[in-house]
């Protein structure tokens, strides 16, 4: 839940960044408004952790980085008046970042674990904005409530969604994930 002092009050990006630096809670920034990120369920955390652990060796060997939950994505969209700031569940980038960087701008893979409260936004608004990222090769949406996933894959200037079967083949990083490994430890 967003702090009532900031509800319905637009902020500049600079105000948001100052506010975020002083906050113990993660807030996303969308079109000038801040939205608190609620805690996640055990299943959500296990799925995100599993995906991170599966991607990390492949990204490390290519000089890329994998981030889970706490690295911010800064996205400039022609469809909104201000830059957007999100905290994807898992993100891969091959951009060179300084040690004190707090944002990624060129992810090649974004993973969102869908929950009851985020499903609609992750599948619509965020999906539209993520597709605008020029370096993004894939956007994986993994359901935390049922054993299912969908993948947006960019192919040249176009892209397409596909329902994931038992495996997910990614190009950045080059790795094949199995649904069994993604849902390891999650009770069905």
Is the per-residue pLDDT at 99 higher than 90?
yes
pLDDT value at residue 79: 86
Question: Are residue 29 and residue 52 in the same domain, yes or no?
Answer: no
Question: Are residue 164 and residue 92 in the same domain, yes or no?
Answer: yes
Question: Are residue 106 and residue 172 in the same domain, yes or no?
Answer: yes
At 134-167, the pLDDT tens digits run: 999 999 999 999 999 999 999 877 888 888 899 9
Q: Is residue 80 part of a domain?
A: no
Question: Are residue 96 and residue 172 in the same domain, yes or no?
Answer: yes
Closest CA to 134 of 152, 150, 151, 154: 154
Q: Is residue 48 part of a domain?
A: yes
The mean pLDDT of 54-83, rounded to a whole number, is 93
At 105-123, the pLDDT tens digits run: 999 999 999 999 889 899 9
pLDDT value at residue 1: 40
Please count the structural domains in the chain.
2
Phi then psi for 21, rounded to 5 degrees? -60, -30
- Range of 158's domain? 41-72+87-182
Whichever domain contains 145, its CATH number is: 3.90.1570.10
Question: Are residue 34 and residue 47 in the same domain, yes or no?
Answer: no
Task: Specify the pairing of strand 27-30 against strand 33-36.
Answer: antiparallel
DSSP-derived secondary structure letter, 74: E
Question: Are residue 93 and residue 163 in the same domain, yes or no?
Answer: yes
Q: Is residue 82 part of a domain?
A: no
Sequence-distant contacts of 51-58: CB under 8 A, at least 24 apart: 51/89, 51/90, 51/111, 51/113, 51/140, 51/142, 51/177, 51/182, 52/90, 54/175, 54/177, 54/181, 54/182, 55/90, 55/92, 55/109, 55/170, 55/173, 55/175, 55/177, 58/173, 58/174, 58/175
Question: Are residue 56 and residue 134 in the same domain, yes or no?
Answer: yes
Mean pLDDT, all residues of the chain:
92
């Amino acid at each position: 839940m967003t702090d009532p002092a900031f509800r319905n009050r637009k902020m500049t990006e600079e105000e948001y960044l100052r506010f975020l630096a002083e906050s113990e809670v993660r807030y996303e920034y969308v079109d000038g408004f801040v939205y608190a990120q609620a805690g996640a369920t055990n299943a959500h955390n296990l799925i995100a952790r599993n995906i991170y652990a599966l991607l990390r060796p492949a990204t490390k060997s290519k000089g890329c980085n994998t981030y889970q939950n706490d690295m911010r994505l800064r996205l400039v969209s022609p469809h909104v008046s201000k830059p957007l700031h999100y905290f994807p569940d898992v993100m891969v980038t091959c951009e060179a970042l300084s040690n004190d960087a707090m944002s990624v701008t060129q992810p090649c893979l974004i993973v969102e674990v869908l929950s009851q409260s985020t499903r609609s936004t992750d599948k619509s608004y965020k999906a539209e904005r993520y597709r605008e990222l020029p370096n993004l090769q894939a956007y994986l949406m993994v359901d935390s409530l049922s054993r299912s996933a969908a993948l947006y894959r960019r192919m040249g200037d176009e892209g397409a969604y596909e329902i994931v079967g038992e495996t997910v083949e990614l190009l950045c990083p080059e790795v094949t994930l199995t649904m069994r490994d993604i849902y390891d430890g999650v009770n069905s």
